[in-house]
Amino acid sequence: MNSRLPVIVTTIVFLLGFAGCGLHFPHFASTRVVGNLLTDNAYLGVMAVGMTFVIISGGIDLSVGAVLGFTTVFLAIAIGRLGIPPLLAFVLVLLLAGAFGAAMGALIQFLEMPPFIVTLAGMFLARGASFLLSTQSIPVGAPLYDTLNAFALHLPGGGRLTFITLLMLAVFAGGIVLLHFTRFGSYVYALGGSRASTALMGIPVARTTIRIYALSGLLAGLSGIVFSLYTSSGYSLSGVGNELDAIAAVVIGGTLLSGGVGTLFGTFVGVLIEGLIQTYITFDGTLSSWWAKIVTGALLFAFIAFQRLMSGGGFRRSRAGAAAA
C-alpha cells in the first residue's frame, strides 16, 4: 500500500487541478481540452515511458530531447528531400536511435561511467548531428503524414483522439506490460534497488542495462516520429530541454530518482499534470508562461519531499526485494 501512495496523491492532485480549472474557465471541462491535452503531450508521454524504465533502474538519460530533435531533422531530410518512403524512414530512424541508446548503455556498463556523463555526451552528439544535417526548419510534405494527421476518433463535445494520442496510449499500455508483467521488468526494478546484490542474485546486469538504454533511445526516436507528425516538419532546435520535462513527469508520477520504485501509470499522470499547468496558463492569458516552469519546479520539490517523508529508508529496499522475488 505504501508504494502506491505517491501515485494516488499524484492522481488526486491532477483531478483536483482539472476540476479547479473547469470551475474557473467555462470552456475548460470539455472533451476538446482533454483531447488537446493528450495530443499536445503525446511526444512527451512516449519519451517519459522510456525515461521511467531508466530512472527505476537507477539511471538517467539526458540524450532523449536531442534524439527527438535529430529524428525530426532526419525524417524531414529523408522523406522531404531524398524521397525515402516514410515507413522505411521510420524504421531506419528507430534502428538508429535504438542502437544509439544501446551504445550509451554499453559505455555505462563496461566502462563503469556514470549515466549522467555518458548521456550528457550523447545529448551533445545528437544535437550537434542534427545541426550538421540542417539549421533550417524543413517541411516534410508526405501524403502519409496528411493521412495520419487527418485520422482521429471523434468524441462527443468536439474532442478528438488523434493518431499520435492513440500511439502514445499504446506505448504506455505496452510499457506497463513490459515493466510490470515480464522478467525484464522485474530486472529493471532490481537494478534500481541495488546493483551489487542484483549481480549476486544472478540477474544479467550488463544485458539488462544495455536493453534499458536501448529502449529509452528507441522510444526517444519514436517520440521524434510523433513530434515530426505533430509539426509535419523537422527542426534541429526541437525538443531542447524536453529530457528535463520527461524527468519531471516521471518524478511527479511517483518514481524515485534513486531508483527501485515507480509506475508507468504515475508517469502518465505526471505528463498530464505538466500539460494541465501549461493549459491553465494559456487559458488565463495574463500570466507569464514561465510560471509553468515555476509551478512544475514547486510540484517536483513537493513530491520529492513527500516521498522522502514516506519512505524513511526501509521502503525502497522492500519494494525492490519484492520485485526481484
Partner 1 sequence: MNNRNRLPSVTLAASALAMSLLGAAAARAEGLVVGFSQIGSESGWRAAETTVTKQDAKKNGDTVKIADAQQKQENQIKAIRSFIAQGVDGIFLAPVVATGWHQVLSEARDAKIPVILLDRDIDPADKPLYLTAVTSDSVHEGAVAGDWLVKTVGAKPCNVVEIEGTVGASVAANRKEGFDDEVKKQPNIKIIRSETGDFTRSQGKQVMESFIKAENGGKNICAVYAHNDDMMIGAIQAMKEAGLKPGSDILTVSVDSVPDMFRAMIAHDANATVELTPDMAGPAFVALGAYKSKGTVPPKWIETKSVLHTSADGDLQQVLDQKKDLGY
- Binding piece for partner 1, criterion CB under 8 A, among 11-19, 191-199, 201-209, 278-286: 278-286
The minimum distance between CB 236 and partner 1, in angstroms, equals 11
- Which residue's CB is nearer to partner 1, number 258 or number 282? 282
- Which residue's CB is nearer to partner 1, number 37 or number 191? 37
Q: Taking CB under 8 A as the rule, does residue 272 contact partner 1? A: no
Please, which residues have CB within 8 angstroms of residue 204's CB and are 6 or more apart in sequence? 187
- Total residues belonging to the chain: 325
- Binding piece for partner 1, criterion CB under 8 A, among 5-13, 45-53, 188-196, 286-294: 286-294
Rounded to whole angstroms, how far apart are CA atoms 39 and 165? 5
Residues in region 144-173 near partner 1 by CB under 8 A: 149
- Which residue's CB is nearer to partner 1, number 209 or number 238? 238
252-265: burial string, b at 16+ Cβ within 10 Å, e else: bbbbbeebbbbbbb
Question: 510560471: which residue's cell?
Answer: 291
- Which residue's CB is nearer to partner 1, number 121 or number 133? 133
Cα-atom radius of gyration of the chain, to the nearest Å?
20
Please, which residues have CB within 8 angstroms of residue 164's CB and are 6 or more apart in sequence? 39, 42, 43, 226, 229, 230
Q: Taking CB under 8 A as the rule, does residue 126 contact partner 1? A: no
Rounded to whole angstroms, how far apart are CA atoms 293 and 202? 43
Query: In sequence order, what are the beta bridge partners of 7?
Result: none
Q: Could you give phi then psi for residue 296, rounded to 5 degrees?
A: -60, -45
The single residue among 2, 182, 258, 289 that binds partner 1, judged by CB under 8 A, is: 289
Q: Is 162 helix (H, G, I), strand (E, B) or coil?
A: strand
Q: Taking CB under 8 A as the rule, does residue 284 contact partner 1? A: yes
Q: Taking CB under 8 A as the rule, does residue 66 contact partner 1? A: no
Residue 2 host element (H or E): none
Rounded to whole angstroms, how far apart are CA atoms 227 and 75? 11
Sign of the alpha-carbon dihedral angle for 280, 249, 243, 45: negative
> By CB under 8 A, how many residues form the interface with partner 1?
36
The minimum distance between CB 193 and partner 1, in angstroms, equals 36
The minimum distance between CB 215 and partner 1, in angstroms, equals 24
The single residue among 5, 84, 120, 281 that binds partner 1, judged by CB under 8 A, is: 281
The minimum distance between CB 232 and partner 1, in angstroms, equals 5
Q: Taking CB under 8 A as the rule, does residue 311 contact partner 1? A: no
- Binding piece for partner 1, criterion CB under 8 A, among 9-17, 99-107, 206-214, 231-239: 231-239
- Which residue's CB is nearer to partner 1, number 73 or number 188? 73
The single residue among 14, 90, 100, 230 that binds partner 1, judged by CB under 8 A, is: 230
Binding mask 22-51 for partner 1 (x = CB under 8 A): ---x-xx-x-xx--x--xx--x--------
For residue 277, how many other CB atoms are within 10 A of its CB?
Answer: 19
HSE-up of 290 (CA within 13 Å, CB side)? 0
C-alpha cell at 175: 510499457
Pairing status of strand 160-162 against strand 233-234 = unpaired
* Binding residues for partner 1 (CB under 8 A): 25, 27-28, 30, 32-33, 36, 39-40, 43, 137-139, 141, 149, 227, 230-233, 235, 237-238, 240, 275, 278-279, 281-286, 288-290
